[in-house]
Amino acid sequence: MGMSKPVFSPDSFELAQRKKDHIELTHKSKTSAATVDGRFDYEPLFFTHPTPNDTWSSTFLGFTFDFPIWVSSMTGGIEKAKTINQNLARLCGEFKLGMGLGSCRPLLSGQERFDDFDVRKYLGDQPLFANIGYAQVEDLCQADKFSLLHEMVKSLTANGLIIHLNPLQEWFQPQGDKFQVSPLIVFKKFLEEATYPVIIKEVGQGIGPKSLKALLDLPIAGIEFGAYGGTNFSLLESLRSSDEGEYKKPFIHVGHTALEMVEILNALPDKKKEFIISGGMKTVLDGFELKSRLKAPSVIGMASTFLGPAQEDYSVLRAHFMEMKEALLVAKKILNLKENQ
């Protein structure tokens, strides 16, 4: 009778190399207590490593997500927009995420760029939201032509509309659109007609407490933070401009971080809305913390992290997301937000 196969049969060369690496890298692998991430309790006793089939099932606006990730609005009407949007839509369809299109403004004046945005077939039943700037909504309000927005949403087979509220971006932008009517007034008029869910978002400054409270009183489906600390479109427009804008530049740095917005919302009763937490999240742990902290239904909005991979082959974007989702699952399995945080 032959000997039974040992339970452990490590590759001797691989094991030796690993131990050699450990010895050589030990002096480079020291940490300081000052660098510990104090936001979380680390609970290794209850952990199992995620498998490729593990999900973090979530619901948002009545849709089922395999992971609480929203692909935030990015681009439209440029050369690579079609490739980017199709790849992002494929990702959302495969992993059951949600997606906001980039600004669909070109579709209000013609159908030449329609193919850039026509991605419903890639998403299946996952949520797809069209996107338009507040300035265009104001123009259509004054012209009594909200029907153009309704037709746009319908033509894209979108589930709803995101309106990006960006007064500082427009102010910084050369030939930017100037707001002539309070957005609150225009939103109320628009929402009287809209028969689909509407989300209001900022684009890098976040939203303050009075505005958040007023938005919560409107019949909208949700709010996307677009918080300070990530891509800032006021700064972006400043960089595009040849005008130094000495008196404008300090306004780049006003606004509200995602953490501040979470704290504001948690202090408000009866929110009855859902939220896309976006802006300023540098790591998966930032998104995990903010979602854990917000006392309302939410998903984590990501944009810039997907933009580079989405311009490549779909396999590049998919591999990028596989790493992201694994890290998110590890966080969910092994970390708890500290009670005193």
CA distances (Å), origin 172, targets 156, 234, 246, 279: 31, 6, 11, 19
Q: What is the pLDDT of residue 18?
A: 63
Total count of residues recorded for the chain: 341
CA distances (Å), origin 89, targets 20, 83, 119, 135, 312: 45, 10, 6, 27, 14
Please report, as a single letter, which amino acid is at residue 243.
Answer: D
Residue 16 pLDDT > 60, yes or no?
yes
Q: What is the pLDDT of residue 238?
A: 75
Q: What is the pLDDT of residues 81-119, one digit of tens each?
A: 999 999 999 999 999 999 999 999 999 999 999 999 999
The DSSP code sequence of 214-259 is HHHTSS-SEEE---BTS--HHHHHHHH-SS--TTTGGGGG-S-BHH
Write down all domains in the chain, each with its CATH number in brackets. Answer: 58-337 (3.20.20.70)
* Predicted TM-score of the model (pTM): 0.90
Q: Which residues pair with 164 in a beta bridge?
A: 133, 201
CA distances (Å), origin 63, targets 87, 124, 150, 276: 21, 12, 21, 14
Torsion 27-28-31-34 (CA) sign: positive
Of the candidates 98, 155, 154, which has an alpha carbon nearest to the alpha carbon of residue 124?
98
What is the pLDDT averaged over residues 312-337?
97
Q: DSSP letter at 106?
A: G
Cα separation, 73 vs 290, whole angstroms: 20
101 within 8 A of 158, measured Cβ to Cβ: yes
Residue 226 pLDDT > 80, yes or no?
yes
Cα separation, 163 vs 101, whole angstroms: 11
Residue 262 pLDDT > 90, yes or no?
yes
Residue 74 pLDDT > 60, yes or no?
yes
Taking CB atoms within 8 Å and a gap of at least 24, the contacts of 46-50 are 46/333, 46/334, 47/333, 47/334, 48/333, 49/330, 50/326, 50/329, 50/330, 50/333
CA distances (Å), origin 147, targets 30, 128, 193: 62, 19, 9
Cα separation, 81 vs 105, whole angstroms: 13
Q: What is the pLDDT of residue 303?
A: 92
Residue 76 pLDDT > 70, yes or no?
no
Q: What is the pLDDT of residue 35?
A: 83
What is the pLDDT averaged over residues 12-40?
71
The DSSP code sequence of 107-131 is GGT-STTHHHH--HHHHTTS-EEEE
Torsion 319-324-329-334 (CA) sign: positive
Cα separation, 156 vs 127, whole angstroms: 12
Q: What is the pLDDT of residue 231?
A: 73
CA distances (Å), origin 12, targets 3, 8, 19, 178: 20, 11, 11, 69
Higher per-residue pLDDT: 18 or 40: 40
Residue labelled with tokens 């850039």: 116
Q: What is the pLDDT of residues 309-323, one digit of tens each?
A: 999 999 999 999 999
Structure tokens at 240: 């595009």
Taking CB atoms within 8 Å and a gap of at least 24, the contacts of 182-189 are 183/134, 183/138, 184/214, 186/134, 186/137, 186/138, 186/141, 187/137, 187/163, 187/218, 187/220, 188/218, 189/141, 189/146
